[in-house]
Amino acid sequence: MKKITVYLSAALVWTMVNAAYSQTKLVEKVTRQGKELVIPYEKYVLPNGLTLVVHEDHSDPIVHVDVTYHVGSAREEIGKSGFAHFFEHMMFQGSDHVADDEHFKIVTESGGTLNGSTNRDRTNYYETLPSNQLERALWLEADRMGFLLDAVTQKKFEIQRATVKNERGQNYDNRPYGLAGENVAKNLFPYGHPYSWLTIGYIEDLNRVNVNDLKNFFLRWYSPNNAVLTIGGDVNAKQVLALTEKYFGSIPRGPEVTKTQVPSPVLDKDRYVSYEDNVRFPMLQIVFPTVPTYHPDEAPLDALAEILGGGKNSLFYKNFVKAQLAVQANASHPATELAGQLAMTVLPFPDKRLDSTEALVRRTLAEFEKRGVTDDDIAQFTATREAQLIDGLSSVSGKVSQLAAFQTYLNNPNYLPQELKRYKAVTKADVMRVYNQYVKGKNAVILTVYPKGKPEIVAKPDNYTVSTAGYKAPDYGYNGLAYTKPKDTFERKTKPGPGPNPTLKVPPFWTDKLPNGLKVIGTKNDEIPTVTMLFSIKGGHLLSANDPAKAGIAQLTAALMNEATQHYSNEQLNTKLEKLGSSVDIRANTEEINVSVESLTRNLDSTLALVEEKLFRPKFAPEDFERLKKQQLELIANQGTQPVVIANKAYNKLIYGTDNIRSVPVSGTTKSVEAITLDDVKAFYAKYFSPSVTNLVIVGDIEQAAVLPKLTFLNKWAAKPVTVPTAAVTRKIDKTRIYLIDKEKAAQSEIRIGYLTDMPYDATGEYYKTGLANYMLGGAFNSRINMNLREDKGYTYGARSGFSSTHTPGPFTAQAGVKAAATDSSVVEFIKEMTNYSKAGITDQELAFVKSSLGQVDALRYETSLQKAYFLGRVIDYDLPRNFTEQQSEILRGITKAQIDAIAKKRLPINNMVITVVGNKELIKPGLERLGYELVELDKDGNPMAASTTTTAAPARAGSSKP
């Protein structure tokens, strides 16, 4: 690593407040020497305080732009929670020179993707685009940094407030255990501590906030001197600097921002707290306060969490999951800027009391004290962390995010070498020291989440109430803030055009076929020293069509293949893999069983030896079978508590029909899994695991000539004939009906609307063209459906539609989670948008947007090893020609409005669809009945309930939605 530091005079950097800026000079430049783990960059500071970090990476024709503001929920105060996250939403609602709802549209039509995120300590906004669109991204980000507030209207404010409430409903209130974090935070940290509430905030705070409060929050924190602009990709640092000075240089400096200082939480006793939730499994969570991120003790505490409950080698897994006392048990150590917490979480089976669970946790800690820390523990931990750090460098966005975080929190973008060093330096003594310092004999918050009507199972009665004593509201300096717009010497309202089109790099690939029929496809990717392999063994859950009474067997077989083999216990296998920094994971899905392999290139031989062991020598031990079968049955039972799962299961049953295996979840049913024996699993493996139906994708830092000799062990795999069932899938729907499933007291309703198509997947035919037609209906963020339900009405956090076929035809589905009170209105709006699109088709402007957006997005599709692997997987699975992407581009360029209109008319049969709604029947049924469709009530398994049909007047017409 070579590091050059240039110190700027204080007069240049720190005193030119709101004055004309001069040419910014280089502060620091870091380059890589050899293959050391370093992210090269140049760092600048503009006179207004904006920090610019530029990383050049010319491997792909893309650029990633990230603006990180050092403001999160930790800058909020009592009674005004959720401001930072709320403002994240407002920053997408237009500014002086960017019209309402244009931000997403501009980036998307430029072939890019974008989003924002908020956590306790920072808010960031980011775009990934083709590299010729860099100037447009900078223009957009600068406009909302310097020209936002006049565009913040009361109407936008109200719509985004509704959207944030919907987000809370979807991700917290309507999700099992969704409020656990909120309950821990308010009881772990003192009243008023900036971590004592979640980033999403409280509903009552969102209700009381007004638009002026929000504007003041922006003026206090969203200024260039509290921001880091990080840009990486196929760019030139000098060009980036010039554009940054042009668009950001005139934005005035804001109020000074200092680091928040708060005392660490001190607990005078174990705090027992609890709440009721609509869950099957109770939850016990024990949380100890620890240290902030980058603290010297963070790394050994991370190691402690890994040893206690980080995987299948951990003590928690052994004592709870393997002992069949819990469906899940783990430990983690999330640390953020002001504090950390060591959390131990157990989900025991429904028949367990939480006092016995707590007692076993404490016995497990005592076992750890006696056992101590082993050399293997440290070797596994350090190898795994090194692999994770390397994997984080696989994309430009990953490198940019890392640079931005290091600069924001440490003022040092070049912290990665130190990050690796501090994790490699962890010793056995360090881990025992932090255990004794932060856990042994220390007090914790002990949270019980208990199923409805079962408060008696809590670990102990609640013994703690939050006290407001001693709280003093902070003075964040909101008084006297003024909005001063930049003064420019150029016309900012002119949207920059793109630069020269970059050269698209579709991965060049090689193919091969082993003598036993196994097909191989691969490409070299030397950006990081890793190899990704994806085995796809065809059949999966579809093979249960041969014996539907044993549905779920593919998932159970895959789970058993992740356990012990004939030569190694599961613990021995995981020890070997983790010491290599590798992973081998086997999972079943509807159409295949996938084996995913990740390895550092230097450890590929050792990793493949373990792949061979797992693939060809599974032990299928009776004790593993009984445990995994029990877990699968419990998880099936648990699905009845999750609205999203309930909706998907019922919808699939209605779409495919009960005689189609696709109407049964991959996990199977209680009845079918109970019927599976260990001999059934062995027979399934013996009959259906064959190289003749297996594809292998290889992407990584290795040549074809070097990797093929390493695969000779696969030649021993004997081929056998396997026929994957192709059940008839065309199920006719005679008329549109509403199917209602009750989810008592649900904060939101889950809606699925659609039908089963007659189109299998194709890359260049009708299916591909139909996907183009759907893009403006429900495929893009600024599609008609999403703009209506989310941005215009505030009914949902997000709504979409799409076609999803594979080798056999799949469904068209429009879907959303919506606030309960707007359930019937949302159904009307969905139908209205589909009806209008079917009748009137696409507009010329929309068609131009589709062509612009999808015509450039390929630049983003092949960057990482995993992206390349999925691309090649599709090529080999569907036997696509090498130039299929060129054929798609030609189709896209030539498709006409008349063609899109004809597709929309043909593919949106409004009168022959299934409408599935899962929600609080007491609240939503009357409104749904007024829509005029036949209404059929189903139970949570998707079966009709006796005497449930309601028929009313003619269906509501498009546009008749009620507020």
Q: What is the pLDDT of residues 141-166, one digit of tens each?
A: 999 999 999 999 999 889 899 999 89
Instruction: Return the number of other C-beta atoms located less than 10 Å from residue 743's C-beta.
Output: 25
Rounded (5°) CA angle 113-117-119: 165
For the chain, give me the number of helices (H) and strands (E)?
Answer: 32, 25
Tokens 């960059």, residue located: 41
Alpha helices in 529-675 (DSSP H): 553-561, 570-580, 604-616, 622-638, 643-656, 670-674
Q: What backbone torsions phi and psi does residue 238 show, to the nearest 5 degrees? A: -65, -40
* Domain identity same for 666 and 550: yes
- Per DSSP, 314 falls in state S
pTM for the complete prediction?
0.91
* Domain identity same for 673 and 527: yes
Q: Which of 360-369's residues contact partners 24+ apart within 8 Å by CB, and which partners?
A: 360/319, 360/320, 360/325, 361/284, 361/286, 363/319, 364/308, 364/315, 364/316, 364/319, 365/308, 365/439, 365/440, 367/315, 367/319, 368/307, 368/308, 368/315, 368/435, 369/435, 369/440
Q: Which amino acid is at 234?
A: D
* Domain identity same for 790 and 660: no
In a domain, 4, yes or no: no
Q: Supply the DSSP string of 244-302, one letter for each residue.
A: HHHHHTTSPP-S-------PPP--SS-EEEEEEES-SS-EEEEEEE---TT-TTHHHHH
CATH code of residue 559:
3.30.830.10
pLDDT value of residue 919: 96
Residue 290, domain extent = 271-389+411-457
Low-confidence stretches of the chain (pLDDT < 70) are: 1-23, 727-730, 947-963
Cβ-Cβ contacts under 8 Å for 599 (sequence gap 6 or more): 530, 531, 533, 580, 581, 582, 607, 608
In a domain, 398, yes or no: no
d(CA 582, CA 868): 19
**Which residue(s) pair with 513 in the sheet?**
519
In a domain, 725, yes or no: no
Using DSSP's 3-state secondary structure scheme, residue 911 falls into coil
What CA dihedral angle connects 802, 806, 811 and 816, to 10 degrees? -40
Instruction: Return the number of other C-beta atoms located less than 10 Å from residue 437's C-beta.
Output: 14
* Domain identity same for 521 and 431: no
* Domain identity same for 681 and 584: yes
* Domain identity same for 711 and 747: no
* Domain identity same for 754 and 677: no
d(CA 312, CA 583): 12
d(CA 825, CA 830): 9
Please measure the distance between the N-terminal and C-terminal CA atoms of the chain and give it in whole angstroms: 61
Q: What separation in angstroms does the CA of 96 have from each of 85, 148, 149, 485?
A: 22, 6, 8, 10
Q: Which of 926-933's residues contact partners 24+ apart within 8 Å by CB, and which partners?
A: 927/823, 927/824, 927/825, 927/962, 928/738, 928/740, 928/823, 928/824, 928/827, 930/824, 930/956, 931/738, 931/824, 931/827, 931/828, 931/955, 931/956, 932/956, 933/736, 933/737, 933/738
Among 280, 229, 107, which Cα is nearest to 781's?
107
Cβ-Cβ contacts under 8 Å for 601 (sequence gap 6 or more): 529, 530, 531, 700, 701, 702
In a domain, 475, yes or no: no
pLDDT value of residue 931: 97
Tokens 């877990």, residue located: 631
Among 629, 637, 714, which Cα is nearest to 679's?
629
Core vs surface per residue 911-924: b (16+ CB within 10 A) or e: eebbbbbbbbbeeb
Using DSSP's 3-state secondary structure scheme, residue 852 falls into helix
Is the distance from CB of 352 to CB of 282 less than 8 angstroms?
Answer: yes
* Domain identity same for 215 and 363: no
In a domain, 963, yes or no: no
* Domain identity same for 329 and 208: no
d(CA 364, CA 358): 10
Find how far residue 565's CA is from the centre of its chain.
32
* Domain identity same for 541 and 622: yes
Structural domains counted in the chain: 4
**Which residue(s) pair with 479 in the sheet?**
none
Among 48, 46, 36, 47, which Cα is nearest to 3's?
36
In a domain, 698, yes or no: yes
In a domain, 835, yes or no: yes
Among 345, 328, 349, which Cα is nearest to 282's?
349
* Domain identity same for 78 and 204: yes
Reading the block at residue 887, the tokens are 């054929």
Is the distance from CB of 305 to CB of 330 less than 8 angstroms?
Answer: no
Among 465, 469, 467, which Cα is nearest to 272's?
465
3-state secondary structure 661-676: HHHCCCCCCHHHHHCC
Q: What separation in angstroms does the CA of 149 have from each of 200, 222, 883, 924?
A: 22, 11, 48, 38
* Domain identity same for 244 and 366: no
pLDDT value of residue 169: 87
Q: Which amino acid is at 51?
A: T
Q: What separation in angstroms does the CA of 494 have from each of 136, 443, 856?
A: 10, 60, 22
pLDDT value of residue 596: 97
d(CA 777, CA 797): 17
Q: Which amino acid is at 244?
A: T
The arrangement of strands across the sheet holding 341-348 comes to: 271-277, 445-451, 283-289, 341-348, 326-332
pLDDT value of residue 2: 56
Q: Which of 574-579's residues contact partners 24+ apart within 8 Å by CB, and which partners?
A: 574/311, 574/312, 574/313, 575/313, 575/376, 575/380, 576/606, 576/610, 577/607, 577/610, 578/311, 578/313, 578/379, 578/380, 578/381, 578/383, 578/384, 579/376, 579/379, 579/380, 579/383
pLDDT value of residue 209: 86
In a domain, 260, yes or no: no
Is the distance from CB of 872 to CB of 532 less than 8 angstroms?
Answer: no
